[in-house]
A and B are shown apart, each in its own frame.
Chain A
C-alpha cells in the first residue's frame, strides 16, 4: 500500500527540484542575454570611441585675395576662363603670408604639406559659383591635412612643456640659431637621450643574441648565414648607439629617431638639433621666427614624445599648425565633409555621401527586383503550383540557393550581366541585380513560410463564397501574409545592404570620387556602396582613415537601424488592420 503522505512528500521533493531546474534555466537565459548585450555594447562602444576623431576636423581659414589676373586669365569672367585660374598658388601664398620667414624650398614644401592641393578645386568651385567675388579678398575655409588634424586632436603624440625659469639668450631670430643659457638647463634632455640610446642598444644586443641562438639551431646553411648576418648588423647598430650614448662627450646630436625637443621663446619656435657645452647651449633651427633676441627666463622646452621618424607629420609642421591655432587661423569643428563629400584620396576630404547614395540606388534596384519576383514565386509555389516532382525539385533548389556563398553571385553577375549583357561595370544597376539574385531565396523562403501560416480556413471561406483562386490569394491570403513577407524581405535586403564580396566581383570597389546622382541616370554611373567603402578605407594607408572607417561603420549601422525601424513601423501598420 502506498501511503498518501508518502506520495505527497515525493511530489513535494520533485516539485522543489523542478522549481530549481526552472530557476536555473531562467538564470542561464538571463546570463545569455547579458552576455550578448555586453558584447554588443563593447563592439559598438569600441567602434564609437575609435570613430571620435573622424567626426571632428580642424579647418584653416585664410584670407585669400582673388586677384583677377590670377583667377580669370582671359579676363572675361567666363566659366572657361575661371577654370584656368591658378587657385593652388593662391592657397600657397595665403599660407606663406603666415610664415614670411620661411625661404628654404624644402621648408616651403613642408609648409604646403599642411593642406591638400585638392582644396584648390574647392576654391575654384566656390569662385565658379560666385564669380562676383573675383578681385575681392575672401576668407576661405578648408580642412588642414589629415596628419596635422590628428596631431591637433592629440592623436599623434603626447607632448609636454616645461619652463626651466632660467635665463637664456637666442643668437638670432631666424635660420640657424644658438641658445645660450648660463646653467646646464639642457642636460636633462641629454641624459634622457642617453638613457634611451642605451636601452635601444640593449634591445638590439638582445636581438643579436637571439639570432645567434637560432642560427646555431637552424638546419639549413642558408638560414644560418641569413641569421648570422642579421645578428651582425644588430650588433653594429647597438655599438654605434652606445657610442652616441657615451657619457663623457660634450655634445649630443638630436636625431629623428629620438623624441623631439623644441624651444618656445620670444614668440617663436626653435627645433633643437644639437646640445653642446655640457647642456649649456642648444643649437637649432628656427621654425617660427622669434620677435627679437632679448635675454629672458620666460621660455619653455616643449617635448614631443613620439620621434619624428615614427609619425607622418614633421616637427616643423607641428610647430606651424600649433602657431596657426594660436593665431586663431585653425579652428576645430564638426566634420561635415564626412557627410557631404564622396570618397577622396585625402582623408580630410573623404566622405560617405557617395557610398550612401550608391547603397540607396543599389538597394532600390534590389528591392524592385527581389521583392516582386520573390513574392510572386512564393505565391505561385505555395498557392497555385501542383505538388509534383518538378515543383519539389524547384523548391529544393531554392533552398540550396540560399546557402550559396555570396561571392558566387558576384561571379555570376560578372559573367552574365557584364560580359554577356554588356551592362556597365561598377554600376548600382548591376550591383542591385546581383544582390537581388542573392536576396531572392531569402524572400521566397520567408514569403512561403508567411503564406503557409495563413490559416486554410480563410482560403476555404473565400473559395466557399465563390472567389477564384487569384481573388482568394490577392484579397485574403496576401494581406494576412504581408507582415511576414515584409519581415523576410527586410531581413534579406538588410543582408544585401551589408554585402561586400559579390560587389567586389563586379567592380564596385573602384575608387569613385564623385557621388552618383540620386536618379535613374545614377543607376549606371560608377558607384560604390557603404560596406565596400568601409572595406576600402580600412585598407587606407593614411592613419586618418582608421577613425573614418569606424565612423563609416557607425553610419552603416545607423542606416540599418533606420531600415529596420521602417520595417517594424510598416509591419505594425499592416498588423493593426485587425
Chain B
C-alpha cells in the first residue's frame, strides 16, 4: 500500500509551529477507494480564530475538512489514517461516537441545505435530538439566541413557522449556520459557505463569521483569496492533496515561502 505516502514537506511559518491549538492533525491521509486524496497532513488549528483552507479545485480541502467531524465516514469508500485530536482527544478512536462528535463540531455546507421544515424546526432539530432543552420555553430560547447569533432573527422573527426552504439563498445559509450554532458546538466547519451567494449576502456572512470567531474555532474553505484575507487569521494552502504552506494569513498573502503558494495567490494557476 502506498499508505502514509510521504510527499509531505509542508512549509510552516514560524507562528504556525508554536501554536497551541484546538484541533491537531497529525499525519492525516485520506483515501477514496484506491486513490489517495490527502497526503500526510499535519497542522494545528487554533481556537477562537478563523482558519482558511485555500487551494485549487480538487486539491482536497473539503476532504480534509470532513475528516474533522468524521463526515467522510458516511462515504462508503473513504478511509482516513492518522491522528486528529480535538482538545487532545483522539476523535478517530472507537470510544468517540461520531454522533456526539458532530454535535461538538458543526458543519455548514457549500449549498445551503435547510430541512424542508419550518424555520423554527430547522434550528430546533439539533437541540431536540440531543435533548438540550426539556421545556418548550428553553427550546424557544435556544432558537432565538441561535437565530440572533446568526444575524437572522430580525428577518424571520415573525415567520418562524414558515418553511426554511422559502428563504433567500443568503438567509438560508444563515439559517443553516444558526442550526449549527444551536447545538453549542466548539468548532464550526464551513465549506465554501458563500459560493452560492451575492456580494451583499456574502458580506453579511463574513461579518457573522467575524463575530462567531470570539466564541468558536472556525475552519473555512474558500476559493476567494479576498475572503480568506478578510476573515481568517490563519491560512493553509493545499495542492494536490498536500498541505503546502501554513501560516498566519497576513504572512501567507504578503510573504509566501513556496512558489506554488505564490503562484496560486497571485492567480497564476488554480
- A positions within 8 Å CB-CB of B: 386-387, 455, 457-468, 471, 475-476, 480, 577-578
Contact = CB atoms under 8 A, between A and B. Distances in A.
B179 interface: yes
8 tightest Cβ-Cβ pairs between the two chains A and B: A466-B103, A457-B113, A465-B126, A466-B102, A464-B107, A578-B116, A461-B113, A578-B163
A457 B111 contact: yes
A458 B113 contact: yes
Interface stretch (B44-52, B68-76, B242-250): B68-76
A465 B180 contact: yes
B125 interface: yes
A480 B115 CA distance: 10
B117 A578 contact: yes
A474 to B, nearest CB: 11
Contacts of A466: 99-103, 126, 129-130, 183
Contacts of A465: 102-103, 106, 125-126, 129, 179-180, 182-183
9 contacts: A457-B109, A458-B115, A460-B107, A464-B108, A466-B129, A467-B129, A471-B129, A577-B116, A578-B117
B69 to A, nearest CB: 7
A578 B165 contact: yes
A475 B125 CA distance: 10
Given A464-B108, A465-B179, 4 more contacts: A457-B113, A458-B116, A465-B106, A466-B129
B125 A459 contact: no
B71 A461 contact: no
* Max count, chain A CB within 10 A of own CB: residue among B111, B129, B180: B129
Given A387-B76, A465-B102, A460 B126 contact: no
A386 B78 CA distance: 12
B193 interface: no
Nearest to A386: B76
A100 to B, nearest CB: 81
Given A457-B109, A475-B125, A468 B99 contact: yes
A461 B126 CA distance: 10
B contact residues, range: 20 to 34
Nearest to A463: B74
A460 B111 CA distance: 11
A164 B117 CA distance: 86
B12 to A, nearest CB: 30
Contacts of B99: 466-468
Interface in B113-165: 113-117, 125-126, 129-130, 163, 165
A475 B115 CA distance: 10
B41 interface: no
Nearest to B104: A466
Contacts of B182: 465
A450 to B, nearest CB: 15
Contact of A464 (B76, B100, B106, B129): B106
B176 interface: yes
B102 A464 contact: yes
Nearest to B114: A461
B67 to A, nearest CB: 14
Nearest to A459: B74
A577 B102 CA distance: 28
Contacts of B69: 464
B102 A461 contact: no
Interface in B151-192: 163, 165, 176, 179-180, 182-183
Nearest to A476: B115
A480 B76 CA distance: 23
Given A387-B76, A466-B126, A460 B113 contact: yes
A464 B109 contact: yes
Contacts of A459: 74
Contact of B115 (A386, A387, A461): A461
A577 B115 CA distance: 12
A252 to B, nearest CB: 88
B130 A464 contact: no
A370 to B, nearest CB: 28
A480 B117 CA distance: 11
Given A465-B125, A471-B129, A460 B106 contact: no
Nearest to A385: B76
A527 to B, nearest CB: 43
B96 to A, nearest CB: 12
A166 B108 CA distance: 106
Interface string B81-110: 000000000000000000111110011110
Contacts of B76: 386-387
B158 to A, nearest CB: 19
A462 B109 contact: no
A577 B106 CA distance: 27
Contacts of A480: 116
Nearest to B113: A457
Contacts of A471: 129
Interface in B56-80: 69, 71, 74, 76
A463 B183 CA distance: 13
A468 B115 CA distance: 16
Given A466-B126, A476-B115, A578-B116, A461 B109 contact: yes
Nearest to B121: A475
Contacts of A578: 116-117, 163, 165
Contacts of A455: 113
A473 to B, nearest CB: 12
A541 to B, nearest CB: 59
Nearest to B122: A461
Contacts of B115: 458, 461-462, 476
A389 to B, nearest CB: 13
* Max count, chain B CB within 10 A of own CB: residue among A460, A465, A480, A577: A465
A577 B165 CA distance: 12
Contacts of A386: 76
Contacts of B106: 464-465
B54 to A, nearest CB: 22
A463 B113 CA distance: 12
A460 B117 CA distance: 16
A475 B109 CA distance: 20
Nearest to B74: A463
A460 to B, nearest CB: 6
B116 A463 contact: no
B222 to A, nearest CB: 18
